C-alpha cells in the first residue's frame, strides 16, 4: 500500500516536472538586469556592509589551492580530488554564498561579481600567497572575475587559475536555470517538487551518462533546497547568474597574466566546449584539455583523468612543493 502511494506520488511529481519543462520552452525566465556593472562593483568590502563568513573545509599543507564549486553544488563536488591534492598542497574547498553550509542571507546580492568579491576578500583576509584558484561552472566564472579583481588590487597573490567547464560568455541558460528564474513558476516548482527529484533530474543533464548519477551526491546537494533560505538563494542566484554587461567583462580576459589551465567535458550539455575553445583563444598562454567522455562535471565523472592533468599543471606552474 505504502509503495503504491510512493509510486503514484512520484509519477505525479514527474508529470508536474514534465509540464514545467514544456512551459519553459516558451521562454518566461526573467534575469536580473539590476546587477551593478563589473567596472562599478566594489572590490573591497565597505565597513557598513555585513560580513559574510563563507564555510570552508581545508586539509593538507603547502601552497594553497582554492576550490570553487558550481551552481547547486557544494564542497562535496571535490571529494574525489581533495585527498590526492592535499598530499602536496594546502587545499581549501569553499562553499559559495547561498550554497552548502555558507550563509544564505535575504539580501539580493548573489551575482557573479558579488561572489567574486567575496573570494577576493577571502584570499586577502587570510593572507593567501601563491594561490591557485580552481573554479567549476558558475565557480569558474567567479574564479575568472576574482582573478581580474586580484590582478587589479593584489597582483602578487595568485599563482595559477584552473577553469573547469566554466561560464564565461553570454549564452542560452539551461532549462533548470530558466525555470528558477521564471517568476511565480520558479518559486512554486522549487517548493513543490521534492529536492531529490530536482537534483537528480539536473544531474542527468550534467552527467554524460544518466546511469552514472551518484545517489550520495543527490542527497548532499538536495539538502540546501529543503530550507526556505536555500531555495531563496538558488532562485536569486539563477536570476543573477548572467550579468547584463558580461560581454563587456569578457573583453578583459586577454589581460589575465596568470598561468591558466582550461579543462572541458567533450559532452558538456550545459556550457558547450566551444566556450572553452573561445576562452583558450582569449587568455594568453592558456592550455586547453578536453575530456572527451565527460559531461559538465569532470571532477565527479572522470576524476581519474582530471587529477593528473591538474597535478601536471600545478607542478609546471610551481604551485606544488
Domains in the chain (CATH in brackets) are 13-23+175-239 (no CATH), 56-172+244-316 (3.40.50.1820)
Q: What percent of the residues of the chain are helix, what percent strand, and what percent coil, each to the nearest 5?
A: 45, 10, 40
| pTM: predicted TM-score of the whole model, two decimal places | 0.90
What pLDDT shows up at residue 7? 47
What pLDDT shows up at residue 48? 58
Q: What is the pLDDT of residues 242-265, one digit of tens each?
A: 999 999 999 999 999 999 999 999
Give whole-number Cα distances, 190 to 13, 112, 177, 196, in Å.
12, 22, 11, 11
What pLDDT shows up at residue 255? 96
Cα angle at 142 between 139 and 145, to 5 degrees? 155
Integer Cα distance of 140 and 319 in angstroms: 19
State which residues of the chain have pLDDT below 70. Answer: 1-30, 41-49, 318-321
What pLDDT shows up at residue 194? 93
What pLDDT shows up at residue 210? 77
Q: What is the pLDDT of residues 18-68, one digit of tens each?
A: 544 544 444 566 677 777 778 776 555 555 567 889 999 999 999 999 999
- Residue 222 DSSP code: H
What pLDDT shows up at residue 42? 54
Number of Cβ atoms within 10 Å of the Cβ of 10: 12
Amino acid at each position: 500500500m505504502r509503495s503504491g502511494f510512493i509510486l503514484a506520488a512520484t509519477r505525479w511529481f514527474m508529470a508536474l516536472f514534465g509540464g514545467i519543462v514544456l512551459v519553459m520552452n516558451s521562454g518566461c525566465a526573467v534575469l536580473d538586469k539590476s546587477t551593478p556593472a563589473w567596472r562599478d562593483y566594489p572590490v573591497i568590502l565597505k565597513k557598513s556592509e555585513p560580513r559574510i563568513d563563507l564555510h570552508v573545509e581545508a586539509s593538507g599543507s603547502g601552497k594553497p589551492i582554492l576550490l570553487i564549486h558550481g551552481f547547486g553544488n557544494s564542497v562535496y563536488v571535490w571529494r574525489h580530488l581533495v585527498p590526492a591534492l592535499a598530499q602536496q598542497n594546502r587545499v581549501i574547498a569553499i562553499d559559495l554564498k547561498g550554497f552548502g553550509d555558507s550563509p544564505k542571507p535575504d539580501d539580493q546580492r548573489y551575482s557573479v561579481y558579488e561572489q567574486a568579491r567575496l573570494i577576493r576578500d577571502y584570499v586577502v583576509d587570510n593572507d593567501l600567497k601563491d594561490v591557485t584558484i580552481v573554479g567549476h561552472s558558475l565557480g569558474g566564472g567567479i574564479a575568472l572575475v576574482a582573478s581580474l579583481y586580484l590582478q587589479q588590487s593584489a597582483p602578487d597573490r595568485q599563482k595559477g587559475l584552473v577553469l573547469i567547464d566554466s561560464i564565461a560568455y553570454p549564452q542560452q541558460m539551461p532549462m533548470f536555470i530558466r525555470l528558477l528564474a521564471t517568476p511565480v513558476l520558479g518559486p512554486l516548482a522549487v517548493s513543490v517538487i521534492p529536492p531529490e527529484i530536482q537534483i537528480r533530474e539536473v544531474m542527468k543533464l550534467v552527467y554524460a551518462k544518466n546511469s552514472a548519477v551518484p545517489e550520495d551526491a543527490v542527497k548532499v546537494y538536495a539538502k540546501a533546497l529543503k530550507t526556505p533560505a536555500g531555495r531563496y538563494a538558488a532562485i536569486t542566484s539563477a536570476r543573477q547568474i548572467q550579468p547584463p554587461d558580461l560581454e563587456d567583462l569578457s573583453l578583459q580576459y586577454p589581460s589575465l597574466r596568470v598561468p591558466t589551465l582550461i579543462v572541458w567535458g567533450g559532452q558538456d550539455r550545459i556550457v558547450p566546449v566551444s566556450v572553452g575553445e573561445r576562452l583558450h583563444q582569449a587568455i594568453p598562454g592558456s592550455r586547453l584539455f578536453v575530456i572527451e567522455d565527460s559531461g559538465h562535471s569532470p571532477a565527479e565523472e572522470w576524476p581519474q583523468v582530471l587529477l593528473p592533468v591538474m597535478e601536471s599543471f600545478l607542478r609546471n606552474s610551481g604551485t606544488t612543493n
